[in-house]
């Protein structure tokens, strides 16, 4: 069999999607926690205003937060750390060094030591005894630490804004202020940053959000069985506010959350579950010992000239849908997968004709027909059951996922 280069574009798309969900879960949790502290707050959050999360606590203090979901540990050399520190510095200056502003860096991963890179040598810096991030966590701002951070950030600032030292016309509006900062000024800035490493991963954050939803003062007996509905609507509101451009359109207040709970009272329970879900375990067990091929391999096996962009789109569908359906009850997920599996089984048995090879147009038409076939079956089942998914696009993506996970193929292997 011909070997194919299997690209990682699907993983990149999945990682980006997870990052957005991580950010939204964190915003939702912080909002509900702030309501616990004071349910009379006018404004509690402004998603994607200055930073990933912008929160206002019960005393009116503002907290600007960056949320990062990563697999590898961060060092101060990491681009995400330098980008975050530059953002924090800009906001600190633009907000007139407000004493009631605080910054938070929140991540699921840990920190590691810096390597002595060419850039550090170029700047004239040497790594210190401990990781710089450890000094920041411990708030140990000795002269060596402040010297290292200030020089590194000024250099990064020049790179970020393409500043040329001998050309004042290239200076960013905050650059002169930063250049004039002395040791005391840097310590004052660094004191305002809290670094939170080894915090919750995506799944744990989701569980924490479930807990906060039930503990919210707006939760009552009318909401039992509707927790996923409330969760989805909370995340939808956050998502909508993130896309707004003007700061006043981003505002989420206590009433915004109260309305979500109020509307959920009159909605049907989320937990009208299709009891077919236990059978999905049996289907998965049948795959044990099978030689696995992904979606791209299966397409190229029967159609080597299949359009590359179309393959990328289908593989992205298979990758991102895993995260799209994670928010639903596990029984809903397994019922959905089983019903899609069942529909695809009928399609491949009754509609599909196996050939050794296909043209691009023929195979792509088959895939489109399969996607529509599955949607039609699921729409009939939705009249009696709730699978969490309301849109047809996600159902079509699940069909791509099941091919990618080796449940079906276009050849008779």
199: tokens are 């915090």
| pLDDT, tens digit only, all 413 positions of the chain | 333 333 333 435 557 788 999 999 999 999 999 999 988 877 899 999 999 999 999 888 999 999 999 999 999 999 999 999 999 999 999 999 999 999 999 999 999 999 999 999 999 999 999 999 999 999 999 999 999 999 999 999 999 999 999 999 999 999 999 999 999 999 999 999 999 999 999 999 999 999 999 999 999 988 887 888 899 899 999 999 999 999 999 999 999 999 999 999 887 665 577 889 999 988 988 876 565 789 999 999 999 999 999 999 999 999 999 989 987 888 889 999 999 999 999 999 999 999 989 999 999 999 999 999 999 999 999 988 888 888 999 999 999 999 998 888 898 76
Query: What is the three-state SS of 237-255?
Result: HHHHHHHCCCHHHHCECHH
**22 exposed, middle or buried (CB, 10 Å; 0-12, 13-18, 19+)?**
buried
- Residues 104, 64 contacting (CB under 8 angstroms): yes
Tokens of 22: 């991580």
Residue 104's DSSP bridge partners are 65, 194
Give alpha helix (H) positions in 244-294.
247-250, 254-265, 279-285
Using the structure block, give the residue that is written with the tokens 């091919």.
Answer: 403
CA–CA distances in Å: residue 380 to residues 249, 334, 338, 374, 399: 39, 18, 15, 10, 17
Which of the 8 DSSP states describes residue 200? -
Tokens representing 231?
Answer: 């969760």
């Amino acid at each position: 069999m011909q070997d194919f280069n299997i690209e990682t574009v699907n993983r990149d798309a999945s990682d980006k999607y997870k990052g957005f969900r991580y950010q939204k879960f964190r915003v939702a949790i912080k909002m509900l926690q702030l309501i616990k502290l004071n349910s009379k707050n006018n404004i509690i959050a402004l998603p994607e205003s200055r930073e990933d999360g912008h929160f206002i606590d019960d005393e009116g203090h503002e907290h600007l937060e960056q949320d990062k979901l990563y697999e590898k540990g961060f060092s101060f050399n990491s681009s995400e750390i330098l980008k975050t520190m530059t953002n924090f510095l800009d906001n600190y200056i633009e907000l007139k060094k407000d004493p009631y502003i605080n910054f938070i860096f929140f991540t699921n991963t840990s920190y590691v030591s810096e390597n002595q890179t060419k850039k550090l040598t170029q700047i004239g810096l040497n790594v210190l005894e401990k990781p710089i991030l450890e000094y920041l966590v411990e708030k140990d701002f000795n002269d060596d630490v402040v010297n290292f951070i200030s020089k590194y950030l000024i250099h990064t600032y020049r790179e970020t804004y393409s500043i040329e030292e001998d050309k004042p016309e290239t200076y960013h509006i905050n650059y002169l202020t930063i250049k004039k900062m002395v040791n005391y000024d840097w310590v004052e800035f660094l004191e305002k940053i809290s670094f939170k490493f080894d915090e919750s991963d995506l799944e744990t954050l989701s569980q924490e959000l479930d807990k906060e939803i039930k503990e919210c003062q707006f939760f009552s007996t009318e909401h039992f069985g509707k927790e996923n509905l409330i969760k989805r609507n909370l995340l939808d509101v956050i998502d909508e506010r993130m896309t707004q451009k003007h700061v006043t359109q981003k505002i989420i207040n206590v009433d915004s959350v109260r309305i979500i709970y109020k509307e959920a009272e009159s909605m049907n329970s989320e937990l009208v579950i299709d009891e077919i879900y236990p059978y999905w375990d049996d289907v998965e067990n049948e795959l044990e010992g099978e030689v696995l091929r992904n979606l791209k391999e299966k397409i190229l096996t029967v159609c080597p000239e299949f359009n590359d962009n179309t393959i990328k789109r289908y593989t992205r569908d298979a990758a991102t849908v895993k995260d799209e359906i994670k928010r639903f009850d596990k029984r809903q997920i397994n019922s959905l997968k089983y019903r899609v599996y069942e529909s695809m089984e009928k399609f491949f048995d009754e509609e599909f004709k196996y050939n050794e090879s296909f043209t691009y147009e023929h195979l792509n038409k088959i895939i489109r027909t399969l996607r529509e076939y599955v949607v039609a079956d699921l729409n009939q089942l939705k009249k009696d059951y709730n699978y969490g998914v309301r849109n047809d696009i996600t159902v079509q993506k699940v069909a791509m996922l099941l091919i990618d996970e080796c449940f079906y193929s276009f050849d008779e292997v």
